[in-house]
Structures are given as C-alpha cells and as structure tokens.
Structure 1
Amino acid sequence: MRPGGAPARDRWATSGATQSLGRRPAELARRGAELLFQMLTEREERTGVAIASNESFSGWTKAFTDPRLCSAIADRLAFGGNVVETGTESYRLAQARARVTAQHLATG
C-alpha cells in the first residue's frame, strides 16, 4: 500500500509484455517468456493471474522456444491453480463462420 491507504499499482497490470508473445521473432519470444515467468513469480501468492490461449500447454513450445522455460511457465501456472479447458475451437472463429453462413443464406 502507498501512503494514504491507496493500493500500490501492480506494475504488470497494464504491461503489454504478456500480450501476443507467440507473434514475435525467436529472440523476442525468449525475452517475452522470461518476462512472463518473472511476472508469475512476483505475483505468486499475492494475486490471481488469468491467461487465455488457443494452444494447449503442449503447443506452447511454438511461442516459447526454450523448452525448459516453457515447462517452468506451464508448471508455475498449473501448480495450485485452476486450468479451464473450453474446447479446441475458438469461440470467435465459430461466430465468424456462423455470420458468413447466415449472410450467404440471406443473399441467396
């Protein structure tokens, strides 16, 4: 807490460091993975973390090119946490396909 009782701002709360890690060249993906691991370590037991991914843990090696670091990140997330699997198909992709199909049916 800061003076006056205001909660301290989480330095990771607005960080772009954890977004789109898999869309970067290998050397940046490595740095992104290191930052993610650091964030998870610092936030452990202090606050919750929510991460959404289109990949299962086994597919994370595509984004995190160091298998040991990838394993450490998955372990840090899964240990004492809740993993919610919603299925393999993206909700947004399914909705986009439904819209396109509806448009084709409406136009003939």
Structure 2
Amino acid sequence: MVTENNNTELFLAGLDAQETTDIARYEYPTGKLPIRYLGLPLMHRKLRISEYEPLLQKLANTFRSWAVKMLSYAGRLQLISTVINGTVNFWMTTFLLPKGCLKKIESMCSRFL
C-alpha cells in the first residue's frame, strides 16, 4: 500500500540515467534546490551575502527580545556565548561565513553587550 506524503521530496545527485529511471518507479516527487533544511538554506552553489540575511535577522530578533529584560553584564555575556555562538556555529558547520557577515554579527554582539 502506497501512502501519499506531501512532506517527502527526492533530491538526486550524481546518478546515471539508469539509476534515475529505477528510482523514478517509486513515484516520489523530485525536489528542486534551493530549499531550507533544519533552518539552513541548501543550494547547489555558494551562498551570496544577501542569503545570510535569515541568520542575521534571527540574531537581531533574539537581541531585540533580550533587550527589554534587565540583564547584568555577566548575563548578557552568557547569552551571547551560549545562544548566539551556538546559532553561528550551527551555520558554520555547513557554510563558510563571509567576513562581512561575521563583522555584522560581532557588531550586534557588541551593541547588545
């Protein structure tokens, strides 16, 4: 019994024509890049600086939500070192962040601190 799952797409890479034909028998819809997976944009090319905007926007929203709280210097430093660095490290496991992006992140951290 085949069930329809709208959340499933198949992405093919590095297959020859016979392998592609064999896989097509399963009738899964073929996905196209770019997509977002676990919050990261996945593409077949290097990201442009403008495509790092979701990361910068997420960090800016996080800083905005923290700004209204009465946090000590040590509390702010702890949030930066855990939450912000964790988010940036997650992106850096997949992408080389450009210097301009890193400078913007450092600037946001400095302003918050």
Shorter-chain-normalised TM-score: which range? 0.3 to 0.5
TM-score (norm 2): 0.31
**Larger strand share, 1 or 2:** 2
TM-score (norm 1): 0.32
